[in-house]
Structure 1
Amino acid sequence: MTSKPTQVHAFNQDDALGHHDAVGLAEQLQTGKTSATELVQAAYKRLEQVDPELHATVCLQEESALTQAKLYDELGNFRAFQGIPSLLKDNLDLLGLPTRHGSAALPAKPKKTNSAVAQQLIDTGLVFLGKTKLPEFGLTATTEYSQAEPAHNPWHTGHSTGGSSGGSAALVAAGVVPIAHANDGGGSIRIPAACCGLIGLKPSRGRLVMNEMAKSLPINIVSDGVVTRSVRDTAAFFALAEEHYKNPTLPPLGHITTPGRKRLKIGMFTQKVSGHATDAACVEAVHKAAALCESLGHEVREIQIPIGEQFADDFLLYWGMLAASISHLGKWAVDRDMNTGKLEPLTYGLAGHFTRNLWKFPFTMRRLYQFEAEYATAFNDLDVLLSPTLGQPAPPLGHLTLDLPFDEARHRLVNFASFTAAQNVAGAPAISLPMHHTEEGIPVGVHFAAAMGHEFRLIELALELEQAQPFKMLA
């Protein structure tokens, strides 16, 4: 028996935000039909309306945001995303607000500077209303806690938003802002995009300026980006971000506004690395997406999963290394005032998994270092890989809660977040598109991946698919 969906959103036609995406709002500003102040005020009113049910924010800066909006209004001559309200995930520093990484172990100390990525986003013109929830240090694929209120999915408030960028995804889906910051170390842009019915592009490694915490990783698996409700917003964001930082080792993207002409060779698979069965709704979503691609002239052929079962074990051990570093070295690596006694049970569980398997780590690292070249061979005769984004649709809250026994948590997490980690290790781009819904109305994401530096293929294809089958939003 399915539960009745409880949807929460703030869309209406009576305020300045309306149903517009970020590009649409930029056009409204440039033609004088609204002001940045009106947009920011409307976003705060929408937030006040829905956040008591979604619980997606951690701190706000209304005075600062309105000051920035008024400055843009006074300057006039709007360009880029100037004056568009947005939100920052709470694992990047924002001047005047604390950064707590979703953890009760960290103090609420205001930061004195903006992080490099936050500054790059600000340079595109986005006005940050405040910061959004994530699970502790982004170590899991749901935005839940053992001792605090989880973020709730606006499509069905009894279900997970996914993670780790779950707070951002919930508020974009609910219509509070059209675009919000997200980042991805194992799927954390794409997973919440899939759960909340959004577009989530994980870019190639190094596409945006380097995330400060990622600099210390032996393999940088973290990419920053955004979640949006339209492909054109995603394309516009990366074009604007490129104006402020362009990685010379990657082919430039530019502003992609139309589908590509080339008909693509697409390799489709639905098998999990773990070997467990993929949920029928996720399989159905992929087959429908494949049929749509074929109807548009693309060649789709079924392939075996191009990732070995060993990869899942290796990635989990690497993930455990991150948790162990936090639990053992947090006072030195994160914040001297960190109280490691307040860390989540899952963080300790992952750290313990690493400690028990420490002897395997050199072999794990050797295989992970080799994985980028191995992954690239999948594109010797293919342009794009097509798979589910997740092993199952957004589960009920509690299914992935952070105080489960570790073996059970590991089993559930691996079977849920089954398809996204490969691109983090390989450094390659991938995008989740909201192309299907369950009978309950819960979004189901479809995952397209490309070779390193080939975001353009994913954006062009996404634009084409969105035109052919407009994505369903909450309103």
Structure 2
Amino acid sequence: MRIDEYQSYDATGLAGLIARGEVTADQVLDAAFEAIKHREPALGAVVATCEEQARAAVEGLLPGVLAGVPYLIKDLECDVAGMATSNGSRLFADKVATRDSTLVTRLRAAGVLIVGKTNTPEFGLGTSTEPGLWGPARNPWHPDRSAGGSSGGSAAAVAAGMVPVAHATDGGGSIRIPAACCGVFGLKPSRGRVTSGPDHGESWAGLAAAHAVTRTVRDSATLLDVTGTPEPGDPYYAPAPAGPYAAEVGADPGRLRIGLNLSPVDADLVVDAECVRAAEEAAALCVALGHDVDPVEWPDAVTRPGEVIAPISAAHIARIVDLRLAELGRDLAPGDLDAATAMIVDKGRRLPLARYLAAIDTMHAIGRAVARLTARYDVLLTPTMAVVPPVLGELDPNRDPVGALRGMRGMAAFTSLFNVTGQPAMSVPLGRTADGLPLGVQFAGRYGDEATLLRLAGQLEVAAPWAGTAVG
């Protein structure tokens, strides 16, 4: 199988070829590893490969819905037995996993072939993927621009045609931001939809969710069918869908009432005109498709999401670092952490318990206020980001850590609210800047209602097809 043939198929298409015997899983793997080799290390998207493990998996390949599809795992809190889970940190660079995370187990049961791991900021703390451990992940459309974060390596790999789908996580926009930067589709599921098992009940007190970045909507839906069911012992889980998510893609969404908001909750932020234009054009497309679009405002009770995310993430990251140091039997040493991470860890260690608990209370209050708003609308529409993809280096966590932390606000201006509320939200690649950079448009649904988002996304994909890859 030639690389260009391989790159012309999504995951569902590749699985179909293999199931029909038109190609073998080994031939698809040949093309995948050749594609990775062709684009790395210039992009910095893939930090480790496991070809021997992937080849061995072909021998016992299960006849699953994605049998033979190459897949990359984000190197953050997701274990692949026999591979290091670095979390983008020097502290964890040599910590090899002894078993698979539940998500990986489910992917393998569907026949997915794990081929490696992707780049991430240290502990997922960044809207641009520029960790000191691995260096930056570059945007395949414009290599001097950011691929976004924290799933920047995964989005860059999918956009570059290395794999059709890749694992991603989202604690403040980390699926949707890189999807927007790289021109691919990124769905953040509802809180509790995808299990954090077997070792965790939730991530960042429920702010973070796991799923994938994909070229096509149907691949995202199929993957959610594979991974989106609870595991015994989960502390909570999202309500079960009425049917398979894959069946929602192509189904008529009906006439939706869509609320349009072009202003972030953080009123100090100015939204780039090109981001506004992309959202307005998406709204016009929705009207042309028969939907009702009305302007809405955020409820008065909704405060800046950073007031919730900053203390919760700082506390959890500090704990991860301190547990690792206890495991190593030593104190934190200079150079262990990126400079921005070190600042966050220091804040997390000093965070009063009352401040953490207040953030939890605020998270739940915001969730209730936005739930009342979405009771009147099927979907909310915003830009994905308030800025265009930044130049690499602007958010380097070591060059200017204070500036890097401050600069994340513009990229997460619209996405982070839906981490606080726990609602499903997706970035759809419907826009372009004047110089050809991708822009995403965000749609958020009611809690537990990924189905409506997937029906709408499928309709948009047909009406305004996106390129999906920047093959070079």
Instruction: Return the TM-score normalized by structure 2.
Output: 0.91
1:468 to 453, 463, 467: 463
Find the partner of 2:166 among 168, 180, 185.
Answer: 180
- Where in structure 2 are the equivalents of 1:437-448 lying within 5 Å? 437-448=432-443
Partner of 2:20: 31
Output the CA distance in 2 between the equivalents of 1:352 and 1:249: 34
Q: Secondary structure at the match of 2:60?
A: helix
Partner of 1:4: none
Q: Give the Å deviation of 1:35.
A: 0.7
1:413 equivalenced with 2:408 (yes/no): yes
Work out whether 1:251 is the aligned partner of 2:251: no
Residue 176 (structure 2) pairs with residue 190 (structure 1): yes
- Rounded Cα–Cα distance in structure 2 between residues aligned with 1:174 and 1:338: 41
Residues 347-383 of structure 1, C-alpha deviations (whole Å, 9 max, x = no match): 1222344466636433323212333222211112111
Q: Deviations over 1:417-452 (max 9, x none)?
A: 111122222221000010011122111010000111
Q: 1:224 to 1:403 in 2, by over 3 A?
A: same
Q: 1-side partners of 2:173 and 2:199: how far apart?
A: 17
Shift of 1:462: 0.2
Secondary structure at 2:42 match in 1: helix
Closer, same or farther: CA 214–141 of 1 in aligned 2, 3 Å: farther
Who is 2:340 aligned against?
Answer: 346
Distance 1:14 1:348 in 2: 42
Aligned pairs for 1:344-383 (under 5 A) are 344-354=338-348, 358=352, 360-383=355-378
Deviates more, 1:378-387 or 1:206-215: 206-215
Q: Deviation per CA, 1:149-195: give whole Å up to 9, x if none.
A: 21111111101111111111111110011011111111111111111
For 1:218 and 1:178, how far apart are their aligned partners in 2? 28
Q: Deviations over 1:37-94 (max 9, x none)?
A: 000111001111001211112211111101212433xx7xx44001101111112111
Could you tell me how far apart the structure 2 residues matched to 1:298 and 1:242 are? 28
Between 458-467 and 414-423, report the one with greater CA deviation: 414-423
CA distance in 2, matches of 1:50, 1:450: 36
Paired residue secondary structure (1:129): strand
Match of 1:227 among 203, 208, 213: 213
Report SS of the residue matched to 2:356. helix
Aligned residue number for residue 294 of structure 1: 287
Q: Does 1:323 align with 2:309?
A: no
Deviation at 1:207, TM superposition (A): 1.4
Alignment partner of 2:302 out of 308, 324, 328: 308
Instruction: Trace 1:10-409 onto structure 2 (pairs within 5 A).
Output: 17-72=6-61, 78-91=63-76, 92-146=78-132, 148-211=134-197, 214-215=200-201, 219-242=205-228, 249-252=238-241, 253-254=243-244, 255=246, 256-275=248-267, 276-306=269-299, 308-332=302-326, 335-336=327-328, 340-341=332-333, 342-354=336-348, 358=352, 360-409=355-404
Query: Partner residue of 2:446?
Result: 451
- Kept in 2: contact 1:208–1:223 (CA 8 A): yes
Q: Deviations over 1:100-152 (max 9, x none)?
A: 10001224132211111211222221101111111101011111024642111
Cα deviation, residue 336, structure 1: 3.7
Three-state SS of the structure 2 residue aligned to 1:387 is strand
Structure 1 residue identity aligned to 2:184: L
Deviates more, 1:422-431 or 1:461-470: 422-431
- SS of match in other structure, 2:150: coil
Distance in 2 (alpha carbons) for counterparts of 1:352 and 1:453: 36
Change over 3 Å in CA distance of 1:15–1:471 after alignment to 2: closer
Letter in 2 for 1:346: A
| Counterpart residue identity of residue 216, structure 2 | S
Higher deviation after alignment, 319-328 or 288-297: 319-328
Gap regions ≥5 residues in structure 1: 1-11
- Partners of 1:433 and 1:345 lie apart in 2 by 33
Distance 1:244 1:84 in 2: 24
How far, CA to CA, are the matches of 1:114 and 1:277 in structure 2? Answer: 43
Q: Is the 8 A contact 1:179 1:228 kept in 2?
A: yes
Moved more, 55-64 or 107-116: 107-116
1: CA distance, partners of 2:204 / 2:20: 48
> CA distance change for structure 1 residues 147 and 217 in 2, over 3 Å: closer, same or farther?
closer
Contact (CA 8 Å) 1:183, 1:222: kept in 2 or not? Answer: yes
Instruction: Output the amino acid matched with 1:428.
Output: Q
Any conservation in 2 of the 1:330–1:338 contact (CA below 8 Å)?
Answer: no
CA distance in 2: counterparts of 1:127 and 1:337, whole angstroms: 36
Superposed CA offset, 1:317-340 (max 9, x none): 2222233323444435xx546873
Q: Which stretch shows the higher mean deviation, 195-204 or 137-146?
A: 137-146
> For the residues of structure 2 that align with 1:339 and 1:104, how far apart are their CA atoms?
14
* SS of structure 2 residue aligned to 1:456: helix
Change (3 A) 1:219 1:111: closer
Check conservation: 2:194, 2:229, Cα contact below 8 A: no
Give the percent of matched residue pairs that are identical in Structure 1 and Structure 2: 35
Q: Which amino acid aligns with 1:460?
A: R
Aligned length: 458
Q: RMSD in angstroms over aligned alpha carbons? A: 2.4
